[in-house]
Copies of this chain bind each other. A is one copy, B any other.
Amino acid sequence: MPKQVNHEERRQIIAEATWEMIMKKGIEGTTVRAIADEANLSLGSLRHYFSSQEELLSYSMELVKERVTERIEKKFAQDIPMDELLVHFSLEIIPLDDQSRLEMTVWFHFMANVQFRHKFEGDDGILQALEQLLSLLEAHGRLKPGIELQEEIETLYALVDGLAIHCLFAPVRLTRERIVPIIVKHVNLLLLHPLNSSIFL
């Protein structure tokens, strides 16, 4: 009996082949035929999973977001001390290993492309997550008094995304050792009880 391949699993394999193609050729150079070749599928089989190129590309973009979210949720399931949440979350966003570098590069391609950008305008999930984390810390009295929450969410979001992009483009300069103290220093501006960088290195 042939090996059963789960439908959703196959869709993910195709999406990953799409990422590979995007890395090689950009979104504009990524044809359905090339993706089928990359995934070792006939064009007909691929069409069984995605009826249009648009559907395939949209799914591939969604999958980047899902993977990052999964990784963060897995990390947070580890019962992390509340005060450390913002730093751990930030470090999960920054592409410090090969897998997250690939995902962020693909994401970057999508974001450079007007057609896909609309979908995610201000909704890549990071802003909302930061809002939740900061609200949680505030509700538990872990933040310094007088913090302007909305402004601090926006600031941390920009700082983390800026570090993420710089890490993507200049990994030699922006190592984990360089990034951790920057994030901890910034988060400590917000926390009532400051953290020590060394626990994140």
The interface of chain A, by Cβ under 8 A from chain B, is: 23, 25-29, 105, 108-109, 111-114, 117, 120-122, 151, 154-155, 157-163, 165-166, 169-170, 172-174, 178, 181-182, 185-186, 189
Main secondary structure of the interface of A (DSSP, over half): helix
If A28-B26, A160-B162 touch, whether A154 touches B169 (CB-CB below 8 Å) is no
CA separation between A165 and B170, bound complex, in Å?
17
User: Can you name the residue of chain B whose Cβ is closest to the Cβ of A115?
Assistant: B26
CA separation between A109 and B108, bound complex, in Å?
9
CA separation between A100 and B46, bound complex, in Å?
41
Residues on B with beta carbons closer than 8 Å to the beta carbon of A173 = 122
Report the 3 A-B pairs with minimum CB-CB distance, sorted nearest first: A162-B162, A158-B162, A122-B170
A-B contact pairs, 6 of them (CB 8 A): A23-B114, A26-B27, A105-B112, A155-B182, A155-B186, A158-B163
Residues on B with beta carbons closer than 8 Å to the beta carbon of A114 = 23
User: Can you name the residue of chain B whose Cβ is closest to the Cβ of A27?
Assistant: B26
Residue among A25, A113, A155 with most chain B CB within 10 A:
A155
Residues on B with beta carbons closer than 8 Å to the beta carbon of A163 = 158, 162
If A28-B29, A112-B26, A112-B108 touch, whether A174 touches B162 (CB-CB below 8 Å) is no
Give min CB distance, A126 to chain B, whole Å: 10
Residues on B with beta carbons closer than 8 Å to the beta carbon of A155 = 159, 182, 185-186
- Which of these, B25, B28, B169, B185, contacts A111 with CB under 8 Å? B169
